[in-house]
């Protein structure tokens, strides 16, 4: 059972099943955050640890968390393990940052152990998702995306990275993003054609930029244009973690407005919003802030301070632990 620490909080022993092959993996950041919150975390690599090996650790834990990359190679045994852990009073949870409901990948939900845990946490807060999960007997809880708090630090300006406008992420070339979201290609092509050499595309097909290098890129760029998969331009309460990854790392972000973003952000305070497909309005915003870099930097600085305090994995995981009655 969880034990009380001197500070008056519960200390929870957690078995974490996921991928830690790279320092930038979400699971690496989440595990480090849980440890910083005072909990004990034992990691089991998803694709190499047998169900028996996971069980041997999990039966001495208070909670098993699962973040899926490839899917465990023993799905039937994994499902049986989840039932056994529940019978023993050990909580199980899934945690992911991706959108599933409404995409082709929705079909993979049925029968996948990831969706069979006692608690499932994703950043899809739409009513469409709520109805889907309820119909499939999934105990889903909406938690917004976040960013790793130690990486919410200022970047360093580098002249060779100086661009008026940049886009960071996958997409921009046909076939490089979800078929359900052709707007990504349309947006990037418009940016290229409109701003020419003043525009820079980073990440995805152009090569990954991560860690402090990404913070430096944001410190060296005047405007970062964002995008998030928003089905039919009307899906509410789901957006990419790029909002927090960009603002938290010090970038000045112009992002399409999605219903729910106003719960944490105010236009002109921490970032700016534009309307999907309104390229004239987007151009006006970009043009204004490229010509007023001090104003853009002030907004970016306020945004970074806000995200670091309110929107990191420290905040999100504490919320999840409270939902599972493991926070003390």
Give the rounded distance of the alpha carbon of 80 from its chain centre.
29
pLDDT score of 272: 98
For the stretch 201-236, pLDDT in tens is 997 666 678 899 999 999 999 999 999 999 889 899
Residues of the chain with CATH 3.40.50.280: 3-146+312-323
Residues of the chain with CATH 3.40.50.2000: 150-310
For the stretch 12-25, pLDDT in tens is 999 999 999 999 89
pLDDT score of 7: 58
pLDDT score of 206: 63
Phi, psi angle pair for 308, to nearest 5°:
-60, -35
CA 269, 254, 244, 163 dihedral sign is negative
For the stretch 128-171, pLDDT in tens is 999 999 999 999 999 999 999 999 999 999 999 999 999 998 77
For the stretch 70-100, pLDDT in tens is 999 999 999 999 999 999 999 999 999 989 9
pLDDT score of 24: 87
The 3-class secondary structure across 206-221, one letter per residue, is: HCCCCHHHHHHHHHHE
Strand 140-142: give its sheet, edge to edge: 40-45, 13-18, 63-66, 91-95, 119-122, 140-142
For residue 169, the 8-state DSSP code is S
Looking at domain 150-310, does it have CATH number 3.40.50.720?
A: no
Strands 40-45 and 63-66: what pairing?
unpaired
Question: Across residues 234-254, what is the average pLDDT?
Answer: 96
Task: Give the CATH superfamily of 3-146+312-323.
Answer: Cobalamin-binding domain (3.40.50.280)
The pLDDT confidence band at residue 9, using thresholds 50, 70 and 90, is low
End-to-end, the C-alpha distance of the chain in Å comes to 12
pLDDT score of 32: 97
Contact 30, 293 (CB under 8 A): no
Q: How far apart are CA 251 and CA 163, in angstroms?
A: 12
Tell whether the model's pLDDT for residue 288 goes beyond 60: yes
Q: How far apart are CA 216 and CA 155, in angstroms?
A: 4
Question: Across residues 258-274, what is the average pLDDT?
Answer: 98
Phi, psi angle pair for 326, to nearest 5°:
-125, 20
For the stretch 106-136, pLDDT in tens is 998 989 999 999 999 999 999 999 999 999 9
pLDDT score of 287: 98
Question: Across residues 180-201, what is the average pLDDT?
Answer: 92
| pTM attached to this predicted model | 0.93
Under DSSP, is residue 131 helix (H, G, I), strand (E, B) or coil?
helix
What mean pLDDT, rounded, does the chain reach? 93
Q: How far apart are CA 266 and CA 270, in angstroms?
A: 6
**Of 162-166, 169-173, 253-257, 273-277, which gets the smallest average pLDDT?**
169-173
pLDDT score of 5: 56
The pLDDT confidence band at residue 176, using thresholds 50, 70 and 90, is low
The pLDDT confidence band at residue 328, using thresholds 50, 70 and 90, is low
Looking up tokens 């499902």 gives: 79
């Amino acid at each position: 059972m969880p034990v009380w620490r001197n500070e008056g909080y519960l200390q929870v022993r957690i078995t974490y099943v996921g991928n830690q092959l790279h320092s930038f993996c979400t699971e690496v950041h989440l595990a480090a955050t849980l440890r910083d919150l005072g909990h004990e975390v034992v990691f089991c690599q998803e694709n190499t640890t047998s169900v028996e090996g996971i069980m041997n650790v999990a039966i001495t834990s208070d909670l098993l968390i699962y973040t899926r990359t490839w899917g465990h190679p023993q799905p039937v045994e994994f499902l049986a393990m989840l039932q056994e852990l529940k019978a023993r009073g050990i909580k199980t949870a899934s945690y992911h940052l991706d959108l599933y409901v409404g995409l082709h990948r929705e079909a993979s939900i049925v029968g996948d152990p990831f969706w069979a845990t006692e608690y499932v946490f994703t950043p899809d807060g739409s009513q469409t998702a709520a109805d889907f999960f309820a119909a499939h007997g999934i105990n889903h809880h909406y938690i917004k995306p976040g960013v790793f708090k130690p990486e919410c630090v200022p970047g360093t300006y580098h002249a060779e990275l100086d661009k008026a406008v940049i886009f960071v992420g996958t997409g921009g070339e046909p076939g490089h993003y979800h078929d359900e979201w052709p707007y990504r290609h349309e947006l990037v092509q418009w940016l290229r054609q409109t701003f020419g050499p003043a525009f820079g595309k980073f990440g995805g097909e152009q090569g990954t930029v991560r860690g402090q290098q990404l913070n430096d890129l944001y410190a060296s760029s005047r405007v970062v244009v964002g995008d998030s998969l928003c089905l039919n331009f009307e899906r509410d309460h789901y957006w990419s973690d790029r909002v927090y990854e960009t603002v938290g790392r010090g970038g000045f972000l112009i992002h399409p407005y999605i219903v729910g973003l106003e719960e944490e952000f105010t236009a002109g305070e921490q970032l700016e919003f534009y309307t999907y497909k309104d390229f004239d309005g987007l151009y006006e915003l970009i043009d204004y802030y490229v010509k007023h870099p001090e104003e853009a930097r002030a907004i970016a600085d306020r945004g970074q301070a806000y995200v670091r305090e309110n929107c990191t994995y420290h905040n999100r995981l504490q919320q999840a632990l409270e939902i599972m009655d493991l926070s003390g």
